[in-house]
Structure 1
Amino acid sequence: MTGEPADPQARPQAHLRHHRPVRRMAPRSRDEPHRTATPLELFFDLCFVVAVAQAGRQLAHDLATDRIAAGLYGYAFVFFAIWWAWMNFSWFASAYDVDDVPYRLTTLVQITGVLILAAGVPRMFDQHDLVLSVVGYVVMRLAMVTQWLRAAACEQGPARTVALRYALGIVLCQVGWVLLLLVPHEAYPYLLPLGILAELSVPVIAERPAQTTWHPHHIAERYGLFTLIVLGETVAAATLAVQTALDEHDALGELLPIAAGGLLICFAAWWIYFAEPIHDHLRSNRVAFLWGYGHYLVLGSAAAIGAGLEVAVEQAAGPAHISATAAAAAVTVPTALYLFTVWLLHSRHLKHGAAQAVLPAASAAVLACTAAGDHGVLAAGLVTAAAVAVGIVLHTREA
């Protein structure tokens, strides 16, 4: 191996990549070697996790004050907006990232949009005021429209049709969200699902003429990195909750089991997700879209674990207005959902024999830990750690 690029044009293109401020937005190759996430994509993820943290904080507040239905509804809607904007950018970047000045500036506009959305999250939860959140979301999505129009200008044939369909579909959806602000709050529960279905249908309709040239390894890495950052935010939220409780209530004995169980859950969540690479499974739009859409539950449950740990800490320290069983459920339910959806999207395609049953069984066992009340979080942590250990043993035997 000489280390030379397989493509003779790769070296001059790499040179131009760093010196031309504006470049033609040509599609990237699905077979491009060594395709990895860029610093801009990592910065994008870190800024998006600010909105994730806001959503998790509001969810924890509502759960701790026994406003479960309102908290879950608000969290599901806000997390969809965050996840969907993140996902659309990631798939577009996988196909068309040129990393020039216009591309970078447009991406920074999208980041501005998510920060506006994050600022509006408390208003949406507490006052059902969607104005600021919708403004932030529309800023993100209209910036995405300019990217697709730029791609369309450099494409022809079916690929151009795909880009134009994306642009038109996104614009129509944003018109719908703006019109939503004009209707009474009482209509939101009926209209929000329609808007979400419209957003979800755009890629399915847009890519009928042809498939964009997203890169399987790059997409798998992007989802993995965002999952990693969300898990990091979960650990940070739980740590802050423990610190605050210790400062205000000095309840070390009650908090240690929750802290230990929470760490075990987060460590196991990381281990299980990254146990096997998934990129070879992403062979078509049908498979990849189902996998990508399913990550709404993976990422949403991962972030909700942090909110649940905050609730468990508050309940143990005294100020929460819910029972110990309900506080345990705030952790065990999202943990069980995370384990099951990771199995559904990842492990069942990669495991064989008895290993197939590990995560579904662990998911059921974690739910059963809810009955342990004050010790439910620690019990759930031990179950997830045991699931990792059993998986390692079975993998070793297969090898």
Structure 2
Amino acid sequence: MAAERSVSARLLRPLQPRDPNEHHRAATPLELLFDLVSVIAIASAASGLHHAIAEAHAVQGIITFIMAFFAIWWAWMNFTWYSSAYDNDDLVYRLLTMVIMAGSLTIAAGIPLLYAAAPDFTMVTIGYVIMRSAMIVLWLRAAVYDRARRKTAMAYAIGIFLVQIYWLFFLLVQPVSSSLGYGLWLVAVLLELAVPAVAEPLNGYTPWHRHHIVERYGLLTLIVLGETLLSGSMALRQSADHFDLMLVRTALSALVIVFSLWWAYFTRDEHLGRHGLKHTLLWGYGHFLIFTSGAAVGAGFGVYVDIATHHANLPFLAGDYAVAIPVALYFASLWFVRDRFTCTGPARYMLLLFGLVGLAVPAMGFGLEAIAATTTLAVIVRNWLVSRQTLSPIAAR
């Protein structure tokens, strides 16, 4: 009997809230597997954007990309914050997490259907509802065990449940006109975003771990930047078949830009350094722009490779802007969630300034290499100015 109770305790543990000040808290192997599944969905969304731009359907492609990426990101983000607060790694938790992963794979399978001439939201919506339904069960479980935050956990469960009913309604009224469909989707997004804002203040914030959350967001940033590395690899592979200096230059530019974007994000400045619900939501939600723009940079390089290999009937200027625009948005997003809080003086605005310069470079007749140089210079100047503002009090002594 004692042995049976021991096995039961390992398989089904009380879902006690985690310590938000726990030392050496890091991403778990299950969370890393979750990220690996997310890679597939993100790659599918970026590939759809790449082909839409290459086929001269940029506006439609961008809208569809944002819609698809929101489904991937929102489900990932909700699970990430929940696991930071309540991960007990028992059998039920693992199985429900795997259900969420299955939903993510369903979304990935349905994303190409969104880019069709007549978009089909069925599979993406079903995959999304699967992911969110598992989250409802997880929040109900938290409500049972975390009595101090029961109202908050129940608000999450009820809020997610009600929004999923709306998503099913959205699915049942298909097909609808584009304008009505986008309007219904926007309402659903606003409802989803409202759930944490309403639930968290009810009777105590969920006990998420700051360093763990920052690490999780950093890992997803690496994943989206990997899309640019993939495009650079594609350029080199094309060049290997028949040497083309343009493709080699494209690959080198991709490497320089992705290294610069990585360096711009992973600085010594504190992410999520301020407490409070408003700043936490701003930081957490604002990363949507960082993630989408990071993945879009890779799609832009894919477009550039298509132009260089004559698979897309577009001017090189279109390829330049397919890269420059998401790079500028990436810098602006980093300013929005971090630099305007952590930097002072000129350093605060460097990413914004060089993002604008990068947008001007193609119009001035300079190509991809100039965009890469501007991106690198942005990081160098910004970090140099930050180091000066850090050292200046010491020098004053």
What is the TM-score of this pair, normalised by structure 2?
0.91
Q: Indicate yes or no: 2:291 matched with 1:291.
A: no
Distance in 1, matches of 2:166 and 2:82, equals 22
Matched position secondary structure for 1:181: helix
CA shift, 1:65, in A, is 0.5
CA distance 1:137–1:280, shift in 2 (3 Å): closer
Q: Deviations over 1:291-319 (max 9, x none)?
A: 00000100000000000000011112212
For residue 338 of structure 1, what is the aligned residue in structure 2?
A: 330
Secondary structure at 1:42 match in 2: helix
| Structure 2 residue corresponding to 1:37, chosen from 12, 17, 27 | 27
The amino acid that maps onto 1:236 is L
1:118 is matched with which residue? Answer: 108
1:245 is displaced (CA, Å) by 6.1
Question: Deviation string for 1:41-96 (max 9, x for gaps)?
Answer: 11111110110000000000000010011101100000000000000000001111
Identify which range, 184-193 or 49-58, moves more after superposition.
Answer: 184-193
What SS class does the counterpart of residue 35 from structure 1 fall into? coil
| Contact 1:216–1:279 under 8 Å retained in 2 | no
The alignment partner of 1:321 has SS state of coil
CA displacement at 1:372 relative to structure 2: 5.1
- Deviation string 1:275-296 (CA, Å, 9 cap, x unpaired) is 1242461412211111000001
| Aligned residue in 2 for 1:168 | 158
Distance 1:278 1:156 in 2: 32
Contact 1:242 1:313 in 2 (8 A): no
Aligned residue in 1 for 2:184: 191
1:28 maps to which residue?
18
Q: Percentage identity across aligned positions?
A: 42
The answer as to whether partners of 2:256 and 2:372 remain within 8 angstroms in 1 is yes
Aligned to 1:132: 123
The match for 1:81 is 71
| Displacement after TM superposition at 1:185 (Å) | 2.5
Q: Which amino acid aligns with 1:98?
A: N
2: CA distance between counterparts of 1:386 and 1:234? 19
Matching residue of 1:239: 233
Q: For 1:230 and 1:218, how far apart are their aligned partners in 2?
A: 19
Structure 1 residues 33 and 280: alpha-carbon distance in aligned structure 2, compared to 1, 3 A threshold: farther
Aligned to 1:99: 89
CA distance in 1, matches of 2:17, 2:216: 18
Query: How far did 1:324 drift?
Result: 1.5
Question: Could you tell me which residue of structure 1 aligns to residue 221 of structure 2?
Answer: 227
Q: 1:391: which partner in 2?
A: 382
Residue 201 of structure 1: CA displacement?
0.6
Q: Which amino acid aligns with 1:309?
A: F
Distance 1:293 1:309 in 2: 26
Deviations 1:320-345 (A, max 9, x none): 12222111111000000001111221
Any idea what the Cα deviations from partners look like across 1:251-295, whole Å, max 9, x if unmatched?
612222222221111000000101124246141221111100000
Residue-by-residue CA offset, 1:183-224 (whole Å, 9 max, x unaligned):
232131221101111111111111121211111111111101
**1:143-176 deviation digits (Å, cap 9, x = unpaired):** 111100110111225x101111111111111111
CA RMSD in angstroms comes to 1.9
Give 5+ residue unaligned stretches, structure 1. Answer: 1-15
Letter in 1 for 2:267: A
Separation (CA, whole Å) in 1 of partners of 2:272 and 2:50? 37
Q: What code does the residue aligned with 2:335 have?
A: W
Asked if the contact 1:29/1:215 (under 8 Å) is kept, the reply is yes
Residue 150 of structure 1 aligns with which residue?
A: 141
CA distance in 2, matches of 1:327, 1:264: 17
Q: In the alignment, does 2:303 pair up with 1:311?
A: yes
2:199 aligned residue: 206
Match of 1:253 among 237, 245, 248: 245
1:37 counterpart SS class: coil
Counterpart secondary structure, 2:367: helix
Residues 47 and 327 from structure 1, CA distance in 2 versus in 1: closer, same or farther, beyond 3 angstroms?
same
Whole-angstrom distance in 2 between the partners of 1:372 and 1:318: 24
Is structure 2 residue 315 aligned with structure 1 residue 323?
A: yes
Using the alignment, how far apart are the partners of 1:17 and 1:348 within structure 2?
Answer: 51
Say whether residues 1:276 and 2:281 are aligned partners: no
Q: How many residues align?
A: 380
Q: 2-side partners of 1:17 and 1:204: how far apart?
A: 39
Asked if the contact 1:358/1:391 (under 8 Å) is kept, the reply is: yes
Q: Does residue 1:66 correspond to 2:60, yes or no? A: no
CA contact (8 A) 1:372 1:379 kept: no
In the superposition, the TM-score normalised over structure 1's length comes to 0.91
Q: What residue number does 1:216 align with?
A: 210
Query: What's the counterpart of residue 353 of structure 2?
Result: 361
Q: Does 2:145 correspond to 1:178?
A: no
Between the aligned partners of 1:378 and 1:345, the Cα distance in structure 2 is 28
